[in-house]
Chains A and B, each alone.
Chain A
Amino acid sequence: MQFFFEVLIAGLLSGVMYALVALGFVLIYKASGVFNFAQGAMVFFAALTAVGLQEKFGLSIWLSIPITMVVMVALGFLTERVVLRPLVNQHDITLFMATIGLTFFIEGFAQLVWGAEVRKLDLGIADEPIEAIMNSTGMLVSKFDVTAAAICGVLVAALAFLFNKTKIGRALRAVADDHQAALTVGIPLQHVWGVVWGVAGFVALVAGLLWGARNGVQFALTFVALKALPVLILGGFTSVPGAIVGGLIIGATEKLAEVFIGPLVGGGIEGWFPYVLALLFLLVRPEGLFGEKIIRRI
């Protein structure tokens, strides 16, 4: 039973990180109706840039992170300007495919500039069990995981606040509801989109640093996006709480399934189990956990 809880906690902690990536998607989807497949590539690019700056120019991590932040926000703005603005009013699927193209471009660009080898990223947080918890309950809970989850938690809360309580958040929600209506009441649409993409770039950076420090900075980071997809299916593409709850559920069930069901079928089920779970859920509730039911009219 203790082992079960250990796995569950590890799952929930990584779930918080999924939630963070998923939130990057939700933010862009809500504001511009784009499903940004390139979010994973952005995560990879961010981590690689942070490490690359350290390596090539001998910068300290605390200097390279702010520079990367500037780069990421610029990348976000640029994407909006070059890729998505010309495609405005196109079919959703067209936009989606454009972001797949963007994914390839960013992946190629990142490796062209910084090289393809696996790097270590040290944020100065040790990946060791927290003694207090180990002593009192005997469970092994990683210090790194808890810190990362805490950072993600704070960021998620900040984004939720930004979205629901501030003026820019209100503009965002208005844009999400109806582009043209938002324009007519004087919301600067493109400005808002620029901000959203900038924020998405920032979220990608945080996710990239945390995942990169955990698993090494490597191409596999792009798969984080694929992990976030089931989270989105579960939580609904437009719901902030959905992303959070979905992230926790996927994180927890994925780890539990791998540990408890995996051995029965040969392991490696982490790759598809969340999808199947999300799909089964989808068949029951096509609009996701917190998504709104759409009544189609003709």
Chain B
Amino acid sequence: MIYREAGQFKTSYEKDSQIFPIAQDRYAVVALLLIAFVAVPLMATPYVFSAILIPFLIFALATLGLNILTGYAGQMSLGTAAFMAVGAFASYNFMLRIEGMPVLVAFVLGGVCAAIVGIVFGLPSLRIRGFYLAASTLATQFFVVWCLTKVPWFTNNSSSGVITAQQIEILGFKFDTPQEKYLLVLAIVAIMALMAKNMVRSTVGRSWMAVRDMDVAAEVIGFRIMRTKLTAFAVSSFYCGVAGALYAYCYLGTVEPEAYNLDVSFRILFMVIIGGVGSILGSFLGAAFIVLLPVVLSVIVHYTGLPNSVTSNLELMVFGALIIFFLIVEPHGLARLWQIGKEKLRLWPFPH
């Protein structure tokens, strides 16, 4: 009833190619952004900001990055956290070593460094595919973390390997409280999500999907496979790199290699699968789900009076079972469920 597109006629291709062609979607997105930027900061507690909202947004950004690579371009990666680490450490070093380096520029440069590393480690994808590629991205994961641990220059000769992240200051305004950090992260994530949406509806996005679905045909109609794959690796790693920098600066407050281990890579992969492979919205849904799940579980465990050590193992089991469940029952994840819900809503309450 409410969600119906009848009467919305597109009179130009421009109108038909909008990001959100259906009016209700546009209103919903605007409303959501208003809530996120205005209502949430007024109401949420510091705990909610730093334990839920900030990690949710940062992981959503990293998931977006992996989704570009895996969901849109079809290249499996188990090394997401490595690219995040590169972004974090590059941002740290740019700010450390260049006097007066603005934070935002450092984040972008961190993303660019991650993109470069992404291109280098994406090179094998030109010759190998499937599991072999997945295994080679594992190499990225181990190598990058090892490198950051062993080369003292990256950590500025810190003995423990754990460094406190610099103060975030933009145009004289300091971002100290969880609320301020939340707003910064939100702004960055919103802009980058919009850009991702633009990319996947343009030629670059179509080139990724073409290579994913049928690479020989893509080549025959003129896409350059190498350039397409490497662009996907670069853009994906850029997103992961920025997410990594935000993870260090706005969530952890420290920069350390161990924060970007294999477990984080897997977790982000799970967000992609549960949220929806090849869906921008799905990246957010998946991140929300996986960030909230442990919180919910620990509450349940707390009320049932089980020992706390149970929580982490239970979490592993639930994660694992959910992944299998989603792959079997709904391989396109929460995003598809959402879409099905919308289709139903279009017809409701008169389904025939």
Interface residues of A (CB under 8 A from B): 35, 83, 86-87, 90, 92-94, 96-98, 100-109, 111-112, 116, 226, 229-230, 232-233, 237, 265-269, 271-272, 275-276, 278-279, 282-283, 286, 296, 298
Contacts known (A282-B132, A286-B127); A275 close to B139, Cβ less than 8 A: yes
Q: Do A230 and B320 have beta carbons less than 8 Å apart?
A: no
Which of A101, A266, A272, A276 is packed against the most chain B CB atoms within 10 Å? A101
Could you tell me the distance in whole angstroms from the C-beta of B297 to the nearest C-beta in chain A? 11
Stretch of B32-40, B306-314, B338-346 contacting A (4+ beta carbons < 8 Å): B306-314
Q: For this complex, into which size category does the number of interface residues on chain B fall?
A: 35 or more
* Additional A-B contact list (12), CB under 8 Å, known A105-B316, A108-B313, A279-B139: A87-B327, A93-B76, A101-B327, A102-B324, A104-B316, A104-B319, A108-B315, A108-B320, A275-B138, A276-B143, A279-B124, A282-B128
Check: B134 CB closer than 8 A to any chain A CB: yes
CA distance A83 to B324 in the complex (A): 7
Which chain B positions have C-beta within 8 A of A87?
Answer: 327-328
Q: Do A226 and B273 have beta carbons less than 8 Å apart?
A: no
Check: B136 CB closer than 8 A to any chain A CB: yes
Q: Do A275 and B131 have beta carbons less than 8 Å apart?
A: no
Check: B269 CB closer than 8 A to any chain A CB: yes
Q: Do B313 and A272 have beta carbons less than 8 Å apart?
A: no
CA distance A232 to B128 in the complex (A): 14
Check: B337 CB closer than 8 A to any chain A CB: no
Which chain B positions have C-beta within 8 A of A282?
Answer: 124, 127-128, 132, 136
Which chain B positions have C-beta within 8 A of A92?
Answer: 130-131
Q: Do B132 and A233 have beta carbons less than 8 Å apart?
A: yes
CA distance A298 to B149 in the complex (A): 46
Check: B163 CB closer than 8 A to any chain A CB: no
Q: Do A96 and B131 have beta carbons less than 8 Å apart?
A: yes
Contact with A along B197-239 (1 / 0, CB 8 A): 0000000000000000000110000000000000000000000
Which chain B positions have C-beta within 8 A of A107?
Answer: 316, 320
Contacts known (A92-B131, A108-B317); A97 close to B124, Cβ less than 8 A: no
For this complex, 8 residue pairs linking A to B, each with C-beta atoms less than 8 Å apart, are: A83-B328, A90-B327, A98-B327, A100-B323, A105-B317, A111-B316, A112-B313, A271-B146
Could you tell me the distance in whole angstroms from the C-beta of A176 to the nearest C-beta in chain B? 16
Within B88-147, the residues touching A (CB, 8 Å) are: 124, 127-128, 130-132, 134-136, 138-139, 142-143, 146
Check: B289 CB closer than 8 A to any chain A CB: no
Which chain A positions have C-beta within 8 A of B143?
Answer: 272, 275-276
CA distance A104 to B319 in the complex (A): 7
Could you tell me the distance in whole angstroms from the C-beta of B124 to the nearest C-beta in chain A? 6
Which of B142, B216, B331 is packed against the most chain A CB atoms within 10 Å? B142
Could you tell me the distance in whole angstroms from the C-beta of A96 to the nearest C-beta in chain B? 6
Check: B322 CB closer than 8 A to any chain A CB: yes
Q: Who on chain A is nearest to B318 by CB?
A: A108
Check: B321 CB closer than 8 A to any chain A CB: yes
CA distance A106 to B324 in the complex (A): 12
Q: Do A112 and B314 have beta carbons less than 8 Å apart?
A: yes
Q: Do A111 and B313 have beta carbons less than 8 Å apart?
A: yes
Could you tell me the distance in whole angstroms from the C-beta of A78 to the nearest C-beta in chain B? 12
**Selected contact of A101 from candidates B76, B135, B139, B322, CB within 8 Å:** B322
Q: Do B320 and A102 have beta carbons less than 8 Å apart?
A: yes
**Selected contact of B324 from candidates A101, A269, A276, CB within 8 Å:** A101
Q: Do A229 and B127 have beta carbons less than 8 Å apart?
A: no
Q: Who on chain B is nearest to A29 by CB?
A: B131
Q: Do B131 and A35 have beta carbons less than 8 Å apart?
A: yes
Check: B266 CB closer than 8 A to any chain A CB: yes
Q: Do A105 and B321 have beta carbons less than 8 Å apart?
A: yes
Which chain A positions have C-beta within 8 A of B139?
Answer: 272, 275-276, 278-279
Could you tell me the distance in whole angstroms from the C-beta of B89 to the nearest C-beta in chain A? 17
Q: Do B320 and A101 have beta carbons less than 8 Å apart?
A: yes
Q: Do A101 and B321 have beta carbons less than 8 Å apart?
A: yes
CA distance A96 to B185 in the complex (A): 33
Which chain B positions have C-beta within 8 A of A104?
Answer: 266, 316-317, 319-320, 323
**Selected contact of B124 from candidates A90, A94, A266, A283, CB within 8 Å:** A283
Check: B15 CB closer than 8 A to any chain A CB: no
Check: B150 CB closer than 8 A to any chain A CB: yes
**Selected contact of B314 from candidates A90, A96, A108, CB within 8 Å:** A108
Which chain A positions have C-beta within 8 A of B317?
Answer: 104-105, 108-109, 112
Which chain A positions have C-beta within 8 A of B320?
Answer: 101-108
